[in-house]
Structure 1
Amino acid sequence: SDGDTAAFAVETLRRWWFGVGKVRYPKSKRLLVCADAGGSNGYRLRLRKRELAQLATETGLSITVCHFPPGTSKWNRIEHRLFAHITMNWRGRPLTSHEVVIELIGATTTRAGLTVHAEADTNSYPRKIKISDAEMAMVTRQIKPYAFHGEWNYTIRPAKQTTTV
């Protein structure tokens, strides 16, 4: 119900990890995130990288991000197959509220056994948050770009925890 920001996108990953992923994959040390290159998932967004770095540190996971090249997310077969089933489930019913949308998405299933989970996120996600050069420099220390298009493909390692005595 608020802005589709990088903080919102990463919060979605956080909710999945703590609600499903950590339980289903308790020995995991890494998380792979495939994302399109636009909107709240943009590969140039400083806020997204900062939020992912915080998530990596919070979870102890190394998070590898692979962005689809700009303009290619429309070729994402998995996404298209999912949205096709959601659309069939809606059957042209009026989307009169957020609750109706969440209920219709959450009721989506396929013959192959796919079930969809949907929930409301009532957090506030302010727009136009600026990440300073100094803060970005700290985040960059956690990022290892890959040789092939390192701007799109990189791993964010958890920050080393410092303890005070």
Structure 2
Amino acid sequence: VSPNTVVKLLTEELEYSRQVNRKTHEGASHPDRNAQFEHINTKVVAAQAAGQPVISVDTKKKELIGNFKNGGSDYRPKGDPVRVKVHDFADKTLGKVVPYGVYDIAANAGWVSLGITSDTAEFAVNSIRTWIERIGLERY
């Protein structure tokens, strides 16, 4: 049986479709989870009332630097897509970048730092320090 026949049987006769997996299984939550969030919220409210910054920080996966395909899209003239490399092999001279976000909850404003270090802890601390020096001190 050919692959095309199998696809036809699955899609037309059995009404299957191509699908990606979906995150739906959450797992057991910690018994004190709600208490933890209530404690954090109490601290956030107190810090904001005192005029202190409250930030949320997050790092994302490393991204290739250069003319590579990504999952996003943008509006362009018909038939004129952005041309990118066929293969996603890292450019050794450019490497990869690590995006690290700092979100100021009270100001509802985000700031992104881009780094090239493989030491995540060092980069996180440096990103927060830079946010404080460039934005936090003036804002708070």
**Whose relative contact order is higher, 1 or 2, with alpha carbons under 8 Å and at least 6 apart?**
1
> With structure 2 as the length reference, what TM-score do the two structures score?
0.22
> With structure 1 as the length reference, what TM-score do the two structures score?
0.19
Bigger radius of gyration: 2
Q: Give the strand-richer structure, 1 or 2.
A: 2
Q: Give the helix-richer structure, 1 or 2.
A: 1
